[in-house]
Structure 1
Amino acid sequence: MKRSDRPEAPNALPDGVVSLADHEHRARLVLGDAVWAYVNGGAADEITLRANTQAWQGIELLPRVLRPLAGGHTRVNLLGRELAHPLLVAPMAYQQLAHPHGERATALAAAALGAGLVLSTQASALLEDVARCFLPDAGRGPLWFQLYLQHDRGFTRELVQRAEAAGFEALVLTVDAPVNGVRDRERRADFRLPAGVSAVNLAGLREPGRATPTAGHSAVFDHLMAHAPTWDDIAWLRSITHLPVLLKGVTHPLDARQALTCGAAGLIVSNHGGRTLDTVPATAALLPRVVQAVAGDAPVLVDGGIRRGTDVLKAMALGASAVLVGRPVLHSLANAGAAGVAHVLRLLRDELEIAMALTGCRTLADAPGTLWPNANGS
């Protein structure tokens, strides 16, 4: 990879950056073309990628005035814990592409801002090192480990045991990406991981053997899908850990109900940031249907396209228990390391509080009353 495709190591916030959009524009100048294509690209024609942000923008808020709001707050309860606010950092691979300090910088910033952190299986830093950066902060949010089930169950078991020993408090099983999406932008840019950046927590995992070909001779169905997880694997995963298991990538109401039947402790409505299957509806449109299907039996979180505090308020109004923020964290990490990530999280919380005040919303329990009556998440 060309030197221009690797960022320098800025640690000071650039002048004039006052929004998540500013962070994105600035990061485009910092990151090389190939890394930018990987970070910001989506699947195929990127219809879902664009729709995620546009859908939140299309939901309208209806202010209420002259309400007594003194003593209001953004606190929420999630899996038995009270959090200062409903913001978590979404799992994202290879964060050293954005900054040499990578996931460790993100962990320090998230902990300092009271946000939750979901660490990717494909992190470019050891999970133990990230946990040590995050756990000591008394005001931190939850620390979760995102898991891709590996073809080697013994390796998966050891990975889960490492996460437990390091202090992670839940597992987040990604279920919507048994194969990579068709990422045209990434392929056009000829993205490849640079030397020194890898999924270090998967070191030592051997390649899977090829299944016996069927009449179709399909690389997808004969090889990749032969090792893909199924509902039966949820029970196995729960049997090897004492940690709660959340499923990330649930978009269909029937899958939501089946997930609860299988013992999932929570769901994350996600279309993988538009990176897997294109033309999937935006998460803002999917969220209300999953919330209705779950009927309060488990927390429902959402990611995809969150760019403003108003988006967070709308998600909570549609029934989310919390939200996860992805690409803006990588943008800000590229711009200013840990200071940049802290800035993005602070912006979102400040904007959320302002939106609550301007809609007459004292706590997030009042959020459903902030939506224009015909709001449906689409």
Structure 2
Amino acid sequence: MASNLPAPEGIENQEPPTAGAWGEWNPTEDSVRSVRGKHRVAKQRGGLARSSTVLGVGVIAAVGASGIATAQDRPQVAISLPSLPDMVPGDSAGMTGDNVRQAEGGSGEAAGAAPRTGIIPQQSDRRADPGEVLRNRILQQADSQQAAAVSQARAEAERAARETAAQEAKDKLEAARTAAEEAKAASEAKAAQEAKAAEQAAAAKAEQERVAKLAGSYSLPTSAYTLTSHYGVAGSMWSSGHHTGLDFAAPTGTPAKAVAAGKITSAGWSGAYGYRIVLELEDGTEVWYCHLSSMSVTSGSVAPGETIGRVGATGNVTGPHLHLEVRKGGSTVDPLAWLTSKGLNV
């Protein structure tokens, strides 16, 4: 850094000193010559000359790290000074005695030596920027918070995965249980259906066997007939107001047969019924044969299909026919339905 300070009085005509000339200056007769009517008193070494030099060096050191002194219009003189970073921190003067001697060109390092520019590592550590320290702390906290957030997110994901897996396992178990129950119910329903079908088949077979057996034990009451009046038909021709039997119209003399094994309990004239035979079966059912023209058997037991009389037109009739009545417990029932239940095709 250049300095524009004026040169000290009395040295205007002096040649620029060299780098080593600043260390010592001896006044001569010319140098102490009176200036502007004033007299100068030469001083010994350590006097004004040396103090001026020290003052100049101090001013230059204060103005800049590598300043250049000038004396009015004289050429500038380069002065080497120690680098500021080499100065010991905390030194109020900024320079030690050795530094001053080096600046004056005295003992110590050589006057023309290059200034030291190295930075002590310890000083660099001590001069750490507080803002950078705070920034590093903030970054560390951010990294820690981010790591905690990542860890928490990972834990949440693992927990969610466990819950999902548990729910899926539960759903699968529930589905398996439901499927097992449905399969069991279907199996039971199928078994019940099969059992019912088997039962129905057995019942149908038993009914067929019973009908076949009854067909061998029961017989139609006559042959070559035509059904004319059915059971329950209303009309004034019957004293009860309705027909109480089933009429088989057939020619007179057509055989009348026992429908099942039984015994004859009554045979003879019966008013409006004409000649009538009553056959009692083993179960107590009574079968009446009415309007007969003749009676072949009037008492005793008879076999199924045995002729017990002949078709006629006796009693209250309009033509030859067999009036057949079936009674249970003293009440009449439909003869057609009863004969059908015995396996007979009427």
Q: Greater helix percent: which structure?
A: 1
Q: Which has the higher contact order (CA 8 A, sep 6+)?
A: 1
TM tier, smaller:
under 0.3
Q: Normalising by structure 1, what TM-score?
A: 0.19
Please, what TM-score do these two structures have when normalized by structure 2? 0.20
Larger Rg: 2
